[in-house]
Amino acid sequence: MVYSDNSGRRIRRRVKRRKQPAGSDPDEAKTRYIRQVAAENPRFTPEEVHAEIYYNRGRHDISKDMVRKVLGTPRPKLPLWPFGR
């Protein structure tokens, strides 16, 4: 954030951001919500699950890192063509 005093000088103040303490797990409600969205969209990667939560559902309190931590390793994507070659 930038403020200016009476002389016109600009004063910068750092914005304190809230972070989860290191080594803590996300709370149970957020974990359940992430798993619910992933179950509704089984072919989504963790990045796509985060995009669904962030942009389509408007929840900005769930980070990409939290989604990756809950869903673990990326799930294998199934081929779009359901039949053999």
What average pLDDT does range 23-41 have in this prediction? 87
According to the model, what pLDDT value does residue 83 have? 76
Structural domain contains residue 8: no
Tell me what pLDDT residue 48 has: 94
The alpha carbon dihedral of 24, 26, 28, 32 has a sign of negative
* Number of domains comprising the chain: 1
pLDDT at 3: 63
Residue 33 lies inside a defined structural domain of this protein: yes
Asked whether residue 34 is assigned to any structural domain, the reply reads yes
Is residue 18 assigned to a domain?
no
Query: Is 82 inside a domain boundary?
Result: no
Of 14-23, 24-33, 68-77, minimum mean pLDDT range: 14-23
76: exposed, middle or buried (Cβ count in 10 Å: 0-12, 13-18, 19+): exposed
Whether 9 is in a domain gets the answer no
Instruction: Provide the domain limits for residue 39.
Output: 25-69
Residue 44 forms part of a structural domain? yes
Residue 36 maps to a domain: yes
- pLDDT (0 to 100) of residue 49: 94
